[in-house]
Structure 1
Amino acid sequence: MADYLEVSTATETRDQAVALARSAVGERLAAGAQIIGPVTSAFWHAGAFGTGEEWKLVMTTSAERYPALEAHVLEHHPWENPQLSATPIVAGSEGCLRWISASTTPVPAQ
């Protein structure tokens, strides 16, 4: 697995995406998050074809923090089985990659 990942999911509303982004970044599971939308999605769900409006949430994290980020998203996402995928960041500016590492390093308890 790559050292750094871009992780995406989608929510039904902007507020849901903002809440998920704030909690993931606030807990240092993701370095940052962007919310894109609304976007139109076409999908199969429960055996039926559908379309709908969603808000895409894209987060950056380290490979080391991905399992905790995945668990967090699955626990706090409003959908029972959300789409969640991680794409390797195969190249990035040195400063950006350092920022991802620093931002996703847990702060020791005092």
Structure 2
Amino acid sequence: MAVHLLVTTTTPDRASGAKIAGSAVAARLAATAQVTGPVASFFWHVGEQGEGEEWNVTFKTTGTRYAELEAHIIAEHPWDKPEVTAVELVRGSADYLRWVETSTGSEP
């Protein structure tokens, strides 16, 4: 049985989030991606507490495609060390999960 993942990153604006989302789906690294925001973020950076506005980008993919998706996000991201995290989907409708597998496969 395939592993299904929800992968997330944040971007400084909608345009950069949409660019990464669209290129990842076009490359079949993710079956789908959503860009939501803006969200208020509170964080530590370079030894100081910060606050800013970010956009969430969420991808649905398989464990097989994760490494390539992570590399793609990092390469296309405007930040030097972007957040890229993944959580395993432990449940989902069978038809949807099959669609994720098919959409991220090498053949359309």
Tell me the CA shift for residue 107 of structure 1.
3.0
2:37 match: 37
1:100 match: 100
Report the identity percentage.
47
Deviations 1:19-43 (A, max 9, x none): 0000000000000001110000000
Structure 2 regions of 5+ residues with no counterpart?
none
Deviations 1:52-83 (A, max 9, x none): 00000000000000000001011111100001
1:50 match: 50
Q: Give the 4+ runs in structure 1 shifted more than 2 A.
A: none
TM-score by length of 2: 0.96
1:90 counterpart letter in structure 2:
V
For residues 6 and 40 of structure 1, what CA distance do their matches in structure 2 show?
21
SS of alignment partner, residue 39 of structure 1: strand
For residues 24 and 46 of structure 1, what CA distance do their matches in structure 2 show?
29
TM-score by length of 1: 0.94
SS of alignment partner, residue 7 of structure 1: strand
2:3 match: 3
The answer as to 2:16 corresponding to 1:23 is no
Question: RMSD over aligned Cα, in angstroms?
Answer: 1.2
2:90 match: 90
For residues 21 and 62 of structure 1, what CA distance do their matches in structure 2 show?
16
1:99 counterpart letter in structure 2:
W
Tell me the CA shift for residue 106 of structure 1.
1.6
